[in-house]
């Protein structure tokens, strides 16, 4: 059977992203990148983090948000991080010493996780890399429990500046797919069976979009 060119393109896209973040894994936790942690804290504030939670971070990098949630929940629950970058996952695992935490190399579009399990899914500065965003959202819907929440934080193309950034980054970075508007998030969430809870600006054009299964 001939190879599906769409599948080939998808694999190549994921490999480019993996190489990009592999190269950044050693420096990702340096203080000059603390703005990533600031954004994660802003997004996590939109989720109900408590003991017993089952938490998933998509595009988890070195696992900072996963470990933070585990600490907030007093290590009562389960805490999982997924990333395309093998090196990021190696660094995350090497941090060690955290109860009920696991990290896996995987795509958000093909989650190696069970159905109806997670109470909260976080996705910060990762969604714009997904070649098939609807496939990722369908996977998120599958692994979320009923009543569970998804929080996506990303640059949002509502205004001129966000659309300009989208065009500029797309020209420079093959790994970038696109930024979406608030209306596009609402439409995609709805098509995936998720109900919009809120969309709020963190720092223009950065927004948090929260949906519930």
Report the domain count for the chain.
Answer: 1
pLDDT at 189: 98
pLDDT at 5: 47
* Residue 29, burial from CB neighbour count under 10 angstroms (0-12, 13-18, 19+): middle
pLDDT at 8: 65
Q: Which domain holds residue 145?
A: 5-212
Secondary structure (H, E, C), 154-181:
EEECCCHHHHHHHHHHHHHCCCCCCCEC
CATH number (domain holding residue 62): 3.40.50.150
Provide the 8-state DSSP code for 28: T
Rounded to an integer, what distance in angstroms lies between the CA atom of residue 163 and that of residue 205? 9
pLDDT single digits (tens) 109-162:
999 999 999 999 999 999 999 999 999 999 999 999 999 999 999 999 999 999
pLDDT at 3: 41
Which parts of the chain have pLDDT scores under 50?
1-5
Rounded to an integer, what distance in angstroms lies between the CA atom of residue 108 and that of residue 137? 8
Coil/strand/helix, residue 144: strand
What's the pTM?
0.94
């Amino acid at each position: 059977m001939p190879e599906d060119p769409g599948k080939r393109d998808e694999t190549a896209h994921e490999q480019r992203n993996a190489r990009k973040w592999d190269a950044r894994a050693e420096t990702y936790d340096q203080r000059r990148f603390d703005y990533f942690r600031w954004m994660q804290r802003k997004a996590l504030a939109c989720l109900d983090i408590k003991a017993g939670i089952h938490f998933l971070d998509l595009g988890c990098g070195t696992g900072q948000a996963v470990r933070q949630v585990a600490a907030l929940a007093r290590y009562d629950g389960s805490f999982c991080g997924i990333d395309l970058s093998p090196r990021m996952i190696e660094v995350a695992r090497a941090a060690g010493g955290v109860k009920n935490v696991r990290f896996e190399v995987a795509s958000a579009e093909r989650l190696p996780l069970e159905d109806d399990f997670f109470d909260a899914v976080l996705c910060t500065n990762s969604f714009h890399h997904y070649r098939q965003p609807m496939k990722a959202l369908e996977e998120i819907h599958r692994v979320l429990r009923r009543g569970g929440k998804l929080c996506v934080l990303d640059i949002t193309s509502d205004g001129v500046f966000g659309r300009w950034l989208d065009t500029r980054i797309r020209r420079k970075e093959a790994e970038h797919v696109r930024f979406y508007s608030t209306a596009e998030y609402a439409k995609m969430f709805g098509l995936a069976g998720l109900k919009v809870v809120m969309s709020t600006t963190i720092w223009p054009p950065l927004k948090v979009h929260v949906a519930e299964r």
